[in-house]
């Protein structure tokens, strides 16, 4: 009797030494090829406070931040009458991105997510056809390369070009990394593997804050933090291709060889049974974008997934990019947010094993809305230390912790909702929706100049909408992984037959 891939993993180790080693490597990928090139923008694209140096045209004696009503006064006086505080350098101070050019500092962050949007669609589709391993290492290497090159940018627009290429490469490799982590784990540990793989981002963010505190020059900071990432390319020689993808391509012997290595590393015996192929007749075609709309149920699943990803990404990144602007010490704010994330990932792993996916996601969205509303209500008195501490706690701890849990579970939830033949396309397009909102979230601090309630008000509204939508989706906790579109179609037909049977039984009751 042939065994499914999930059954094989139950025999050879659902989450043993082999999967732990893979998870550690993937955490390093997220640390050096994600946390460093993305989170570094909090520091190198940030803007120091400014202060007056000519009392005749500028009479203020204190330093002025973006939250201050006097922030735009410098645009009405000569550039020589004010200066940035000499706390740190950034692309804003180097390329003088102020007044009419003031939004360009936020643009340099948003172009990362614009590139991510394109990369997740283009490479996400290709990785379903050419495997997970190639986009991981090819895109990961170029992500590292252009992040490093951006440190030597002679102009702002060259810097922005490098960041957009970094974003494209991030979009190309980040989903295959996560999918590999999920596909190499058994049903029982799928949630834990998907949650723990993100720990590298939190660790990287904390380390980056420490480096930024010690290195105040943006070019040197980019070089020092980016250089170690080149070592990860050696992973090409020992990271395996996805077993499920190999089976979809009919490469059964390669799949068995990898499973044999997994069994040996985990100290288990390799089962003698054959691997069950995706279907009995032939290898099914791999899905494409059109299959996301193959039925009313799939349309509902796809659109709901896009909305949840849009909401969770906006809240996650808006809280991150607001760290230098909400008040207090930027470095401490980033560390607090990173610690909240570091707590969230193992906590997500425990919750994913014990509770249903929908319950965790809905509660997390509601808590993030509470955090956002709390920060909003405490934004009235920035000069009051108690109010400031409360605002930092509600935004950087409550909202950040809750949304990090939601983000982790949404990755797992989406991967489980869609069949293997369509998983990368579904994840790629969902991630694209997330990058649209991430692109917009880069401008969240700028909304403070319009109204101080806007950033957190938008976060709260999106969190509530996502929680409501999540309630309408099917539960996937401890359910077998769907392998193909035919299985999806069969499930849909069974659901229709069940509905018809229930209607018939309801009609027959009065007759009795």
pLDDT: is 218 or 501 the higher one? 218
Mean pLDDT for the chain?
82
Residue 502 pLDDT greater than 60, yes or no: no
- Mean pLDDT throughout 68-80? 84
Q: Return the pLDDT at 295.
A: 78
pLDDT: is 301 or 68 the higher one? 301
Q: What is the DSSP code (8-state) at residue 3?
A: B
Residue 148 pLDDT greater than 90, yes or no: yes
Q: What is the DSSP code (8-state) at residue 64?
A: B
**Six-digit token string for 273:** 């049974």
At 187-221, the pLDDT tens digits run 777 777 777 787 888 888 889 989 999 999 999 99
**If you compute the radius of gyration of the chain from its CA atoms, what whole number of angstroms results?**
25
User: What pLDDT band is residue 436 in, cutting at 50, 70 and 90?
Assistant: confident
pLDDT: is 381 or 52 the higher one? 52
Give kind and range of the element (H or E) at residue 84.
strand 82-84
pLDDT: is 484 or 158 the higher one? 158
Place of tokens 């659902």: 14
Give kind and range of the element (H or E) at residue 505.
helix 485-511
Q: Return the pLDDT at 270.
A: 86
Q: Are 434 and 171 in contact (CB under 8 A)?
A: no
- What is the spatial distance between Cα 342 and Cα 185, in angstroms, rounded to a whole number? 22
- What is the spatial distance between Cα 301 and Cα 474, in angstroms, rounded to a whole number? 9
Q: What are phi and psi of 426, to 5 degrees?
A: -65, -45
Q: Return the pLDDT at 512.
A: 42
Residues with Cβ within 8 Å of residue 351, at least 6 apart in sequence: 360, 405, 409
Structural domains of the chain, ranges and CATH numbers in brackets: 1-48+86-283 (1.20.1250.20), 294-477 (1.20.1250.20)
Residue 391 pLDDT greater than 60, yes or no: yes
Residue 496 pLDDT greater than 60, yes or no: no
- Mean pLDDT throughout 432-436? 83
> Which residue, among 399, 400, 376, has the nearest Cα to 326 in the 3D structure?
376
Q: Return the pLDDT at 281.
A: 42
Give pTM, 2 decimals. Answer: 0.76
Residues with Cβ within 8 Å of residue 465, at least 6 apart in sequence: 307, 311
Q: Return the pLDDT at 282.
A: 43
Q: Return the pLDDT at 382.
A: 63
Residue 30 pLDDT greater than 50, yes or no: yes
- Mean pLDDT throughout 36-52? 88
> Which residue, among 5, 21, 7, 3, has the nearest Cα to 266 in the 3D structure?
21
- Mean pLDDT throughout 29-34? 90
Distance of CA 10 to the CA centre of its chain: 29
pLDDT: is 353 or 458 the higher one? 458
DSSP per residue over 282-351, as a string?
SPPPPP-GGGGGSSHHHHHHHHHHHHHHHHHHHHHHHHHHTTTTSSS-HHHHHHHHHHHHHHHHHHHHHH
DSSP per residue over 351-378, as a string?
HHHHS-HHHHHHHHHHHHHHHHHHHHHT
At 302-338, the pLDDT tens digits run 899 899 999 999 999 888 888 777 777 888 888 888 8
The residues that bridge with 96 in the sheet, in sequence order, are none
Q: Return the pLDDT at 413.
A: 85
Q: How many residues does the chain have?
A: 512
The residues that bridge with 3 in the sheet, in sequence order, are 275
Q: Return the pLDDT at 269.
A: 87
Q: Return the pLDDT at 423.
A: 72
Q: Return the pLDDT at 184.
A: 86
Q: What is the DSSP code (8-state) at residue 152?
A: G
Q: Return the pLDDT at 280.
A: 42
Residue 324 CB coordination number (10 Å): 22
Residue 252 pLDDT greater than 90, yes or no: no
């Amino acid at each position: 009797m042939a065994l499914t891939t999930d059954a094989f993993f139950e025999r050879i180790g659902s989450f043993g030494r082999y999967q732990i080693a893979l998870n550690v490597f993937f955490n390093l990928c997220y640390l050096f090829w994600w946390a460093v090139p993305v989170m570094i923008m909090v520091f190198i694209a940030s803007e120091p406070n400014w202060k007056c140096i000519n009392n005749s045209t500028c009479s203020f004696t204190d330093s002025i931040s973006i939250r201050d009503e006097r922030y735009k006064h410098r645009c009405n006086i000569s550039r020589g009458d004010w200066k940035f505080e000499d706390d740190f350098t950034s692309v804003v101070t180097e390329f003088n991105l102020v007044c009419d050019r003031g939004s360009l500092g936020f643009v340099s962050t948003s172009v990362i997510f614009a590139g991510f949007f394109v990369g997740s669609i283009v490479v996400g589709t290709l990785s379903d056809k050419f495997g997970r391993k190639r986009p991981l290492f090819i895109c990961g290497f170029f992500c590292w390369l252009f992040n490093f090159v951006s440190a030597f940018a002679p102009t702002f627009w060259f810097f922005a070009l490098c960041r957009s290429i970094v974003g494209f490469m991030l979009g190309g490799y980040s989903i295959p990394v996560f999918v590999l982590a999920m596909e190499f784990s058994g049903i029982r540990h799928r949630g834990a593997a998907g949650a723990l793989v993100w720990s590298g981002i939190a660790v990287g963010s904390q380390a980056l804050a420490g480096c930024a505190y010690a290195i105040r020059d943006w070019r040197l900071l980019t070089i020092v933090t980016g250089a170690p990432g080149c070592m990860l390319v050696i992973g090409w020689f020992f990271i395996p291709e996805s077993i499920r993808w190999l089976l979809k391509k009919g490469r059964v012997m390669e799949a068995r060889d990898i499973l044999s290595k997994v069994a040996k590393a985990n100290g288990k015996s390799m089962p003698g049974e054959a691997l069950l192929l995706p279907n009995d007749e032939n290898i099914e075609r791999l899905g494409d974008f059109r299959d996301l709309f193959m039925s009313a149920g799939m349309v509902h699943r796809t659109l709901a997934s896009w909305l949840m990803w849009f909401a969770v990404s906006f809240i996650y990144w808006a809280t991150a990019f607001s760290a230098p602007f909400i008040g207090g010490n930027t470095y401490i704010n980033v560390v607090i947010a990173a610690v909240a994330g570091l707590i969230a990932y193992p906590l997500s792993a425990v919750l994913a094993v014990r509770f249903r996916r929908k319950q965790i996601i809905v509660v997390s969205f509601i808590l993030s809305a509470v955090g956002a509303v709390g920060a909003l209500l405490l934004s009235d008195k920035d000069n009051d230390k108690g109010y400031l501490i409360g605002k930092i706690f509600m935004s950087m701890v409550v909202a950040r912790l809750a949304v990090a849990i939601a983000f982790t579970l949404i990755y797992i939830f989406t991967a489980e909702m869609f069949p293997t033949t369509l998983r990368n396309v579904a994840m790629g397009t969902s991630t694209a929706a997330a990058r649209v909102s991430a692109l917009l979230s880069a401008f969240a601090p700028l909304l403070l100049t319009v109204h101080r309630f806007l950033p957190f008000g938008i976060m709260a509204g999106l969190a509530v909408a996502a929680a409501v939508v999540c309630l309408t989706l099917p539960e996937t906790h401890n359910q077998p992984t769907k392998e193909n579109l035919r299985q999806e179609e069969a499930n849909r037909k069974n659901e229709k037959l069940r509905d018809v049977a229930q209607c018939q039984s309801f009609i027959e009751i009065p007759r009795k």
